């Protein structure tokens, strides 16, 4: 019997993306089809979404929905079945999904995504266009109020709260409860209250039937004060209901043999042309060391300030570095300055999807020194292309990369390099190990072959989600 699941998400590829949440929301429906799960995605009607979807059917509308007229329509796009919440007063704006053109949060984000959560609960309670889910999957704080809205309506529908990054709580003043229609009985430390405010994420963690996050290691890390973002107590209290399911990547989009953006290859030896093309494009001369690449947001979380400190040692070993990213202005400037100081460093500030593919195709190694990383997809792209990941031992990075220690090398299973603690000194040691491995041509080629064989797709993860969904959906 097919299982019907509604996925409530604030972003979804290929329509709108700021991070890994969008990749998961866009990839899971297709991956779950093979598991007998029919998944539809509820997404806000941002301008980019409205421009790329056509209403096949208006399934709900209201003249006054959280401050203005709104409608819900069903659409299909790129293989996805979508419910689009069209509400111009909430979502028809310039800038990104969460930030205005100046990089500040929209002041009414709580209302905007409270409305999205309300609509998710509405579909769960009454259906939409003749379709009603057996279960709702809620992604991050933007969908965190769905389980509470259902409980307030006395609707006993299974819900799964999926945490992509616990650092973002969706905090709002308690005074907003009335405008959002939130029940006063839930405003207490055991409910949605967080130090005098409402936490949409905490509401989801408390009232959802089950909680998942995007890697097994991150699920364990969330129980600790260091990684739990103030919600570690909630995670510990619900430890039996918390499950880590690793993300996957789109293997069709990230395939070195068919990539339309880069020099194509099937085996590590074919990377030589992609490497040479990347050096030329980035204006770098070749050297005796590895060509390292970084494709990342430039934030403290990603540890790229640590890489700045370790950079001189890498360059001294003959390594090269090509970086693509944007983020915090001080880090952007620091990396521009590093490129000016070091002949072997090239930096592009911004984001360019095609260039990201060429960096990962042409690099010898990809660096991810993150202080925390719930899952991470970039290291999986690296594995797929035989671009050796050098990663901090945290979250999904620890779960996807097998460290090239002596035992793993002897067993022939190593796929990359892990380091801990997450310090500049430990990163320097890891880069030194990378240079040593690179100098042994045969060993490095074997490492690349191992990496390219590593499982990085959605098959196993989709099966795990399907098992979880079926465990908690009551049997008819």
Residue 401's alpha-carbon distances to 51, 423, 445, in angstroms, are 39, 19, 16
User: Whats the size of the chain, residue-wise?
Assistant: 476
Neighbours of 197 (CB within 10 A): 18
Which distant-in-sequence residues (6+ apart) come within 8 Å of 350 by Cβ?
A: 324, 326
Phi, psi for 188 (deg, rounded to 5): -160, 165
Whose CA is closest to 385, among 262, 280, 247, 215? 262
Strands (E), 175-319: 193-194, 197-199, 210-213, 242-244, 291-298
What is the distance between the alpha carbons of residues 319 and 390, in angstroms, rounded to a whole number?
14
Does 17 appear as a known binding residue? yes
What is the distance between the alpha carbons of residues 301 and 413, in angstroms, rounded to a whole number?
29
Sheet of 171-173: strands edge to edge? Answer: 171-173, 197-199, 193-194
Whose CA is closest to 158, among 241, 98, 67, 87? 241
Is the backbone peptide bond immediately before 14 cis, with ω within 30 degrees of 0? yes
Whose CA is closest to 271, among 347, 359, 348? 359
DSSP per residue, 17-57: -SSHHHHHHHHHHHHHHTTTEEEEEEEE--HHHHHH---SE
Q: Rounded to the nearest 5 degrees, what angle is found at the Cα of 168, between the Cα atoms of 162 and 173? A: 115
Phi, psi for 453 (deg, rounded to 5): -90, -10
Phi, psi for 74 (deg, rounded to 5): -95, 140
What is the distance between the alpha carbons of residues 209 and 365, in angstroms, rounded to a whole number?
41
Whose CA is closest to 429, among 317, 350, 328? 317
Asked whether the beta carbons of 268 and 382 are under 8 A apart, the reply is: no
What is the distance between the alpha carbons of residues 206 and 111, in angstroms, rounded to a whole number?
20
Annotated binding site: 17
Annotated binding site for ADP-alpha-D-glucose: 17
């Amino acid at each position: 019997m097919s299982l019907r699941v509604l996925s409530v998400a604030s972003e979804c590829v290929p329509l709108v993306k700021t991070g890994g949440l969008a990749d998961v929301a866009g990839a899971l429906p297709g991956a779950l089809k093979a598991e007998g799960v029919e998944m539809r995605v509820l997404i806000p009607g941002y301008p980019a979404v409205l421009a790329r979807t056509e209403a096949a059917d208006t399934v709900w509308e209201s003249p006054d929905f959280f401050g203005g007229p709104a409608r819900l329509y069903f659409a299909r796009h790129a293989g996805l079945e979508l419910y689009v919440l069209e509400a111009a007063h909430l979502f028809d704006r310039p800038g990104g999904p969460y930030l205005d053109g100046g990089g500040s949060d929209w002041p009414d984000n709580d209302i905007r995504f409270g409305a999205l959560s309300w609509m998710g609960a509405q579909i769960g309670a009454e259906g939409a266009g003749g379709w009603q889910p057996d279960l709702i999957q809620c992604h991050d704080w933007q969908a965190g109020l769905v389980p509470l809205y259902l409980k307030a309506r006395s609707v006993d529908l299974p819900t799964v709260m999926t945490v992509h990054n616990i650092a973002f709580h969706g905090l709002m003043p308690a005074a907003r409860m009335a405008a959002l229609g939130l029940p006063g009985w839930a405003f207490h430390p055991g409910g949605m209250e967080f130090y005098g405010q409402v936490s949409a994420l905490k509401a989801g963690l408390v009232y959802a039937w089950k909680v998942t996050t995007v890697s097994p290691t991150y699920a364990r890390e969330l129980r600790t004060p260091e990684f739990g973002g103030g919600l570690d107590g909630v995670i510990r209290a619900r430890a039996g209901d918390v499950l880590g399911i690793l993300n996957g990547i789109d293997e069709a989009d990230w395939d070195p043999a068919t990539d339309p953006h880069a020099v194509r290859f099937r085996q590590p030896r074919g990377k030589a042309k992609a490497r040479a093309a990347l050096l030329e494009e980035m204006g770098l001369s070749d050297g005796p060391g590895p060509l390292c690449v970084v494709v990342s947001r430039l934030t403290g979380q990603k540890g790229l300030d640590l890489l700045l400190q370790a950079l001189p040692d890498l360059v001294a070993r003959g390594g090269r570095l090509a970086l693509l990213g944007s983020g915090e202005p001080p880090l952007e400037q620091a990396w521009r300055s590093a490129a000016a100081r070091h002949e072997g460093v090239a930096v592009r500030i911004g984001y360019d999807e095609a260039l990201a593919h060429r960096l990962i195709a042409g690099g010898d190694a990809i660096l991810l020194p993150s202080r925390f990383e719930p899952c991470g997809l970039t290291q999986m792209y690296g594995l797929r292309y035989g671009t050796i990941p050098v990663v901090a031992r945290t979250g999904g990075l620890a779960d996807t990369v097998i460290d090239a220690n002596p035992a793993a090398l002897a067993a022939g299973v190593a796929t990359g390099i892990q380091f801990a603690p997450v310090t500049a000194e430990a990163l320097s040691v890891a880069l030194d190990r990378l240079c040593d491995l690179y100098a042994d041509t045969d060993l490095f080629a074997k490492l690349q072959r191992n990496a390219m064989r590593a499982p990085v797709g959605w098959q196993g993860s989709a099966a795990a989600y399907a098992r979880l969904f079926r465990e908690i959906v009551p049997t008819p």
